[in-house]
A and B are shown apart, each in its own frame.
Chain A
Amino acid sequence: MLEIRIHGRGGQGVVTAAELLSLAAFREGQYAQAFPSFGSERMGAPVTSFCRLDAEPIRLREPIDRPDVIVIQDPTLLASHDVLAGLSTDGWLLVNSSRGFAELGLADWVAQFRPGRARCVPASELARQHLGRPLPNAALLGGLAGLTGAVGIDSITSAIRERFAGAVGERNSAAATAAFTLSRTEPVPC
Chain B
Amino acid sequence: MLKQLECSRAIAETIARCRPQVVCAYPITPQTHIVEALSELVRDGSLSPCEYINVESETSALSVALGASATGARAYTATASQGALHMAEVIYNVAGLGLPVVMTLGNRAVGAPINIWNDHSDAMALKDAGWIQLFARDAQESLDLHVLAFRLAEELSVPVMVCVDGFVLTHSVEPLDVPSQEAVDRFLPPYQPVQVLDPADPVSIGAMVGPEAFTEVRYLAHHKQLQVLTRLPELAAELAQLIGRPSGALLHPYRLDGAETIVVAMGSVTGAAGLAIGAVALCAFRPFPLAALAEALADARRVVVIERNLAPGLGGALASNVRMALRGRAIPVHTVIAGLGGRPVTRAALRPVFESAARDALDDLVFLDLDNAAIDRELARSGERRRSGPAAENLLRDARRPR
Contacts and interface: CB of A to CB of B under 8 A. Distances in A.
B138 interface: yes
Contacts of B175: 26, 31-32
B173 A33 contact: yes
A61 B271 contact: yes
Interface string B1-45: 010101000000000000000000000011000000000000000
Q: Is the interface of B mostly helix, strand, loop or mixed?
A: loop
Nearest to B346: A62
A75 to B, nearest CB: 21
A34 B174 CA distance: 7
Interface stretch (B164-172, B292-300, B315-323): B164-172
Given A23-B4, A40-B116, A35 B172 contact: yes
A38 B168 CA distance: 9
A31 to B, nearest CB: 7
B326 to A, nearest CB: 27
B403 interface: yes
B248 to A, nearest CB: 18
A135 B383 CA distance: 52
Interface in A1-25: 18-19, 22-23
B32 to A, nearest CB: 10
B77 interface: no
Contacts of A36: 171
Contacts of B342: 38
A26 B175 CA distance: 7
Nearest to A58: B174
A52 B6 CA distance: 14
Interface in B153-184: 167-169, 171-175
Contacts, number: 63
Choose among B116, B172, B274, B342 the residue with the greatest number of A CB atoms under 10 Å from its CB.
B172
Contacts of B169: 61
Interface in A57-111: 58-63, 65, 85
A33 to B, nearest CB: 5
B268 interface: yes
B174 A60 contact: no
Interface string A127-164: 00000000000000000000000000000000000000
Interface string B250-271: 0000000000000000001001
Chain A interface size, as a band, is 20 to 34
Choose among A18, A36, A38, A60 the residue with the greatest number of B CB atoms under 10 Å from its CB.
A38
B308 to A, nearest CB: 13
B193 interface: no
Given A62-B272, A65-B403, A32 B174 contact: yes
Given A61-B272, A63-B403, A33 B172 contact: yes
B347 interface: yes
Contacts of A31: 174-175
Contacts of A85: 403
Contacts of B345: 62
A38 B271 contact: no
Nearest to B173: A34
Given A40-B116, A62-B344, A18 B173 contact: yes
B53 to A, nearest CB: 24
A7 B346 CA distance: 21
Contact of A59 (B2, B6, B138, B403): B138
B345 to A, nearest CB: 7
B4 A61 contact: no
Contacts of B30: 38
Given A59-B138, A60-B272, A62-B344, A35 B4 contact: no
A98 B374 CA distance: 43
Nearest to A65: B403
A31 B167 CA distance: 19
B52 interface: no
A34 B272 CA distance: 17
Contacts of A59: 138, 271, 274
A63 B6 CA distance: 17
Nearest to A22: B173
Contacts of B274: 59
A166 B291 CA distance: 57
B35 to A, nearest CB: 16
A22 B171 CA distance: 13
Interface in B83-116: 116
Interface of A: 18-19, 22-23, 26-27, 31-36, 38-40, 58-63, 65, 85
Given A38-B117, A61-B271, A65-B346, 19 more contacts: A18-B173, A19-B6, A26-B2, A31-B174, A32-B4, A33-B172, A33-B173, A36-B171, A38-B167, A38-B171, A38-B342, A40-B29, A40-B116, A60-B347, A61-B168, A61-B268, A62-B346, A63-B344, A63-B403
30 contacts: A18-B173, A19-B173, A22-B4, A22-B174, A23-B173, A26-B175, A32-B175, A33-B172, A33-B173, A34-B172, A34-B174, A35-B167, A35-B168, A35-B171, A35-B172, A35-B173, A38-B116, A38-B342, A59-B271, A59-B274, A60-B272, A61-B168, A61-B268, A62-B344, A62-B345, A62-B347, A63-B344, A63-B403, A65-B346, A85-B403
